[in-house]
Chain A
Amino acid sequence: MTVWRSRIDETGAEFAENRAGMLEKIAELRALEARAEAESEKRRPRFEARGQLTPRERLGRLLDAGLPFLRLHSLAGYGIDGPPEKTVPGASILVGIGFVSGARCLIWVDDSGIKAGAFGPKTLPVVLRIQEIAKRQKLPLIHLVESAGANLMEYQVEGWSEGGALFRNLAQLSAQGVPVISVLHGPSTAGGAYMPGLSDVVVGVRGNGMAALAGAALVAAATGEQSDDRALGGAEMHAEISGLVEHLADDDAHAIEIARDCVARLGWNRGAPAAPIPQFDEPLHPPETLAGVVPMDPATPYEAREVVARLVDGSDFEDFQPRFGVSTVCIRASIHGQPVGMLANNGPIDPAGAQKAAHFLQICDQTDLPVVFLHNTTGYIVGAESERAGMIKHGAKMIQAVSNLRVPKIALHVGASYGAGNYGMCGWAYEPDFLFAWPNARTGVMGGAQAAGTMSMVARAGAKRAGREVDEAALAAQEAAIKNHFEAQADAFATSGRVLDHGVIDPRDSRRVLAFCLETVAEARSRTIRPNSFGVARM
């Protein structure tokens, strides 16, 4: 028992200031999510006129009541379609991991209240990411389909070209032994038609569900044939004639009931032994206080162990080599009874810290401990001393360890995450099983000020070589522009908007998010599936 006694005064002004700042950012996050919901809700009359449920109602009916749900990518597309005050994030889909008839599933709901569910610029990247999660975590994929497809007015050739991976992933899921269930609530046309085509189970809603390689308009344009959408690809036709639809449902609620029954009948959890849940203590310092622990200014350092103490069972953890490489924190603890290794930063990573981290990661790999990375680093330390001390080779060792870890990796951006330090801490490119950001997080190759300063130095040096006078006004303008260019991209909402994480979370939810992710990866690792060569072909 080494229980951390917090040194933070939770009644003090600093705590209150941190907390106020964080709560404001959380409110912004919730407001953005609510904006997408409100936008979708505007179409309620149209759904009701068609006898349909709204996409969120479909999701609520699909999920097991009272079991947890981890939303993914709720800010995808943030800032792409307009400025922060106008942007409607979410990429017109609702995705997350939740439970259906007791089976942990990856759920993908077309938010057809927004642009009729048409793909936006960030929809495909999200879909490809969640398909990767389904593959890696062996999660049955359930797609509630109602999509106008790709927006022809926004056509980009790469969307079509790269979009093929969506279907390749479906085929590979099937071959891997992970079932895909599609519910056709509305149209699924053109490329989208391969969604049901490549699903193991298809439920179609009578009157609304529809799948066709080309809708009536395209058919007329391409061949001159006059047709209508129901005859071309109505759910009834597919259930009775083409054989694309297994179950014909009377309405949305019925379709979801059928989908839930289908999952129940998979007996999916025969493939994974029920895992006992040991007794565990809640942290001594409640996770709710995380909002006040972290300064909003990423330049203000803070003690990573104060965060750890609010995440782990009983605030009880083992500090690995606390006196060596002190700005790199390595910890063994447990979260909801699940043992984990944790890597955190108390500043830049120095040569000793990098060595310690590499060592610790190898131990985690050896002992099969999942690793949680808590990013708060400005990067690997620079300067003559550290170069002489072998920063490059020690940093490389850490990146090597992270890249080749065989245990699950879960990362949280809890502050700054800059430069190669981000790589060493298992940034997005290092394929963490899950990566979430706090709303205060900032990520990038370097801070905006450093980038601007660097460019000014270069400009001044260039001017000097050419013997020119430095145009201070132009330089100041350039500095401001660069700073702004960097900072706008470093913002957690912006990176999440670009699909460089799995979502932004409320820091006070971090312990639950980590527990959920740890359960998800543990379940995947304990699950036996039955791969086959070519997947299940629809006959």
Chain B
Amino acid sequence: MRPFGSLLVANRGEIACRILGAARAEGLRTVAVFSDADADAPHVALADEAVRIGPAAPAESYLDPERILAAAEATGAEAIHPGYGFLSENAAFARAVADRGLVFVGPSPEAIALMGDKAAARALAEQAGVPVLPGVNDPQADDAALIAAAPDLGLPLMVKAAAGGGGRGMRRVDDLAALPEALALARGEARAAFGDDALILERALDEARHVEVQVLADAHGTVLTLGERDCSVQRRRQKVLEEAPAPGLSAATREALAEAARRLAVAGGYVNAGTAEFLVSPAGEIFFLEMNARLQVEHPVTEAVTGLDLVALQLRIAQGRPVGVRQEDVRLTGHAIEARLCAEDPAAGFLPSAGPIRRWRMPEGDGLRIDAGYGEGGEVPAVYDSLLAKVIAHGATREEALARLSAALRRAAVVGPRTNAAFLTEALAHPEFALGGVSTLWLERTFDAPVEAAPTETEAAVAAALWLAGAQAEALAAAVRVSPGLLGWASDGGHAARVSLRAGEQVWEASARAEGADLWRVTMEGETEVRIEALEDGAARLRVDGTRREVVFFRRKDGLDLAFGPRQLGFSRVVPGAAAAEETAGGRLTAPMHGRLTALDVAEGDAVAKGAPVAVLEAMKMQHRLTAPVAGRVARVAAAPGAQVAVGDLLLEIEEEERA
């Protein structure tokens, strides 16, 4: 720890932007690093300098300590902030940073190693008098030992990788008979993920809440606890919604959590920001889970209620300066909730959704903070985590924060990758969430398999109107001169334009007439009047049958993607003739010219590879070899060798192989 004037941020996305912003505000020279996938990412533009550190694969870029260190050396950066994920809890990296004479913004390598070892951390907690769940905390314990101990611990059980984090190497066991297999699987995962297959076994607590305490300690003996966060709304152990403070906890529980966190930090000699995670049972008992030796994704909710800038304080502590805040100065004001906006498709089992961001509209408003790592025109790479942005709302009460967050998400519109925005708004709108205090099982139990509602006729009519308005604009741009006063006018009342739009399995056949420059009457089952009141940069303000609606959209060459706030819809234009072309292609081999079929090398039932020679056609004394258009089985031979055939005559039909 020593003063520094420049900082390299060894991360990407929203957290890199967050840290670079804080560093700049502190007057530091900033250095970003980027992989090939992030060459045009916002964090690159935010920094004073940016260094390419390798290809997209994390192992060859953000996870490679040597490349990060080389970048620091090349730019003369004096300190490195690791953000979260990647190298943030890699003790060897922290040590290497120090060995190069640079400052690592975070705890010491020893503290990282200690906290990263679940068994050691659990032992530390036990020493410090912090309650832990019943369990076996011996990294040396083999499967037999764990199986032997299990009956005494009670069910259900949780198998965890000792070196783990982030849910990997974790398995829940509800039946002792399933334990051996769970252990084998967890060891395999742990070995793959952490290079260490040591496991610990703990009693699992059902219906518990996940509550964590933010800790901040400096090198001068100050250890602050900054209130707790409730991160119980999780999916597959990934946090989805986080809030501060945790709703409905008793003062005693709250005090017990803060005290336990403080004791852990003190016992571990912890310096810089960290988070102590606990489970809170419905009865208010607390159990230590783990200590995260880094800045958390959800730190903004703590910042909102404390008014502190945690990153700025991290930088101050890393410079060896006192944190400058006393515990008695820490006051919590109001309530804050954060939602993680991710590029994933809830209707497709939350599969990540990568690709270009065509439109990106984030709301602004009182008490609202957006920490985003992307913007319009950017691209979400498939290789990194799916977090697009964090939407954080702060209010005087939980109700106000919740209302602000819901309103914000209703206005947040992304066109391009699928997002979980609609899912988030549904979760926020659920009465059980409004009550507060849901358990970690709540989200998955309540929203088992979200399905996406198909477009309504009104939505399809809007899509048709926007498609045609785009076609009109293209035609207008190609025209020599058309007075705006003539748009949507015909001396005989006009003739309906047609467009067919497909959404999933459904095809919407729209017939539409323009009236004037901005009104479209779209007829499908019924008639929808779409008035385009304003249209700019892919955002439209509409009156749909008199009702005002805002929509953000992107017109592709072959379709239209739009977002009514969090509701994303995609339509592709059904091009006349295209379907038939697809149908007739496939396995039909027809004569390319008039001629005589001199040889036929296949018979019905034969398997053929794509491109395999199947026949010879003699025309104008030339031998033309004909090949199989697709791989499959010959279903029909339609012409005999020696036959005279005309252009277009069917020769063979090949039943196409099922494509995987």
Partners in one complex: yes
Residues of A within 8 A of B (CB): 30, 33, 56-57, 59-61, 63-71, 74, 96, 98-99, 101-104, 236, 240-241, 249-251, 253-254, 256-258, 264, 269, 272-277, 282, 336-337, 503, 505-506, 509, 512-513, 515-516, 519, 522-523, 526-527
Cβ B472 vs Cβ A65 within 8 A: yes
Cβ A277 vs Cβ B483 within 8 A: yes
Chain A residues closer than 8 Å to B492, beta-carbon distance = 33, 69, 71, 74, 96
Whether B45 sits at the interface, judged by CB under 8 Å, is no
| CB-based closest 5 A-B pairs | A102-B478, A254-B577, A66-B472, A65-B497, A253-B576
Chain A residues closer than 8 Å to B471, beta-carbon distance = 64-66
Knowing A256-B576, A274-B481 touch, does A66 contact B495 (C-beta < 8 A)?
no
What are 6 pairs between A and B in contact, CB < 8 Å? A57-B498, A60-B511, A69-B494, A71-B490, A241-B647, A512-B489
Chain A residues closer than 8 Å to B478, beta-carbon distance = 101-103, 264, 269
Chain A residues closer than 8 Å to B481, beta-carbon distance = 274-277, 519, 522-523
Closest chain B residue to A503 by CB distance?
B491
Cβ B648 vs Cβ A236 within 8 A: yes
Cβ B485 vs Cβ A336 within 8 A: yes
Chain A residues closer than 8 Å to B495, beta-carbon distance = 56, 59-60, 63, 69
Closest chain B residue to A56 by CB distance?
B495
Cβ A515 vs Cβ B476 within 8 A: no
Most buried by B among A57, A67, A249, A258: A67
Instruction: For the complex, give the distance between the alpha carbons of A337 and B471 in Å.
Output: 25
Chain B residues closer than 8 Å to A527, beta-carbon distance = 480
Chain B residues closer than 8 Å to A515, beta-carbon distance = 483, 485-486
Chain A residues closer than 8 Å to B365, beta-carbon distance = none
Cβ A519 vs Cβ B468 within 8 A: no
Chain B residues closer than 8 Å to A509, beta-carbon distance = 489, 491
Closest chain A residue to B488 by CB distance?
A66
Knowing A57-B498, A66-B514 touch, does A240 contact B575 (C-beta < 8 A)?
no
Interface size band for B: 35 or more
Instruction: For the complex, give the distance between the alpha carbons of A512 and B490 in Å.
Output: 9
Cβ A512 vs Cβ B486 within 8 A: yes
Closest chain A residue to B515 by CB distance?
A66
What's the nearest-Cβ distance from chain A to residue B193, in Å?
53
Known: A66-B520, A512-B491. 4 other contacts (CB 8 A): A67-B475, A274-B480, A275-B480, A336-B483
Whether B151 sits at the interface, judged by CB under 8 Å, is no
Whether B251 sits at the interface, judged by CB under 8 Å, is no
What's the nearest-Cβ distance from chain B to residue A312, in Å?
13
Most buried by B among A101, A102, A103, A251: A102
Knowing A96-B492, A519-B481 touch, does A68 contact B487 (C-beta < 8 A)?
yes
What's the nearest-Cβ distance from chain B to residue A455, in Å?
39
What's the nearest-Cβ distance from chain B to residue A484, in Å?
31
Q: Quick one: which of A33, A99, A250, A256 contacts B475, CB cutoff 8 A? A: A99
Knowing A67-B476, A101-B475, A272-B480 touch, does A250 contact B496 (C-beta < 8 A)?
no
Chain B residues closer than 8 Å to A264, beta-carbon distance = 478
Closest chain B residue to A338 by CB distance?
B483
Cβ B476 vs Cβ A68 within 8 A: no
Whether B144 sits at the interface, judged by CB under 8 Å, is no
Chain A residues closer than 8 Å to B648, beta-carbon distance = 236, 240
Closest chain A residue to B490 by CB distance?
A69
Whether B512 sits at the interface, judged by CB under 8 Å, is yes
What's the nearest-Cβ distance from chain A to residue B48, in Å?
44
Whether B493 sits at the interface, judged by CB under 8 Å, is yes
Q: Quick one: which of A64, A241, A251, A257 contacts B472, CB cutoff 8 A? A: A64
Instruction: For the complex, give the distance between the alpha carbons of A526 and B481 in Å.
Output: 11
Chain B residues closer than 8 Å to A103, beta-carbon distance = 478-479
Chain B residues closer than 8 Å to A257, beta-carbon distance = 575-577
Knowing A102-B475, A256-B576, A512-B491 touch, does A519 contact B498 (C-beta < 8 A)?
no
Cβ B491 vs Cβ A505 within 8 A: yes
Cβ B486 vs Cβ A516 within 8 A: yes
Instruction: For the complex, give the distance between the alpha carbons of A236 and B646 in Å.
Output: 12
Q: Quick one: which of B475, B477, B497, B575 contacts A60, CB cutoff 8 A? A: B497
Q: Quick one: which of A65, A99, A258 contacts B468, CB cutoff 8 A? A: A65
Cβ B475 vs Cβ A64 within 8 A: yes
Cβ B577 vs Cβ A67 within 8 A: no
Closest chain A residue to B484 by CB distance?
A277
Chain A residues closer than 8 Å to B580, beta-carbon distance = 250-251, 254
Instruction: For the complex, give the distance between the alpha carbons of A41 and B257 in Å.
Output: 79
Cβ A71 vs Cβ B491 within 8 A: yes
Cβ B512 vs Cβ A65 within 8 A: yes
Instruction: For the complex, give the distance between the alpha carbons of A503 and B490 in Å.
Output: 13
Instruction: For the complex, give the distance between the alpha carbons of A60 and B514 in Å.
Output: 11
Instruction: For the complex, give the distance between the alpha carbons of A258 and B484 in Å.
Output: 28
Most buried by A among B481, B496, B514, B648: B481
Closest chain B residue to A504 by CB distance?
B491
Chain A residues closer than 8 Å to B474, beta-carbon distance = 102
Instruction: For the complex, give the distance between the alpha carbons of A59 and B469 in Å.
Output: 18
Cβ B483 vs Cβ A337 within 8 A: yes
Instruction: For the complex, give the distance between the alpha carbons of A249 and B575 in Å.
Output: 12
Instruction: For the complex, give the distance between the alpha carbons of A57 and B576 in Å.
Output: 14
Whether B178 sits at the interface, judged by CB under 8 Å, is no
Whether B482 sits at the interface, judged by CB under 8 Å, is yes
Cβ B480 vs Cβ A269 within 8 A: yes
Closest chain B residue to A335 by CB distance?
B483
Interface residues of B in 121-140 (CB under 8 A from A): none
Knowing A64-B472, A66-B469, A66-B472 touch, does A523 contact B491 (C-beta < 8 A)?
no
Closest chain B residue to A102 by CB distance?
B478
Chain B residues closer than 8 Å to A254, beta-carbon distance = 576-577, 580
Chain B residues closer than 8 Å to A74, beta-carbon distance = 492
Chain B residues closer than 8 Å to A505, beta-carbon distance = 491
Knowing A67-B475, A256-B576 touch, does A30 contact B493 (C-beta < 8 A)?
yes
Closest chain A residue to B574 by CB distance?
A253
Closest chain A residue to B584 by CB distance?
A250
Chain B residues closer than 8 Å to A275, beta-carbon distance = 480-481
- What per-residue 1/0 map shows which CB atoms of B508-520 lie under 8 Å from chain A? 0001101001001
Closest chain B residue to A267 by CB distance?
B478
Cβ B480 vs Cβ A67 within 8 A: no
What's the nearest-Cβ distance from chain B to residue A3, in Å?
19
Closest chain B residue to A68 by CB distance?
B486
Knowing A71-B492, A240-B647 touch, does A99 contact B577 (C-beta < 8 A)?
no
Interface residues of B in 28-44 (CB under 8 A from A): none
Instruction: For the complex, give the distance between the alpha carbons of A509 and B512 in Å.
Output: 21
What's the nearest-Cβ distance from chain A to residue B294, in Å?
55
Closest chain A residue to B477 by CB distance?
A102
Instruction: For the complex, give the distance between the alpha carbons of A231 and B648 in Å.
Output: 14
- What per-residue 1/0 map shows which CB atoms of B443-486 lie under 8 Å from chain A? 00000000000000000000000001101101111111111111
What's the nearest-Cβ distance from chain A to residue B475, in Å?
4
Knowing A30-B493, A60-B495, A102-B474 touch, does A67 contact B482 (C-beta < 8 A)?
yes
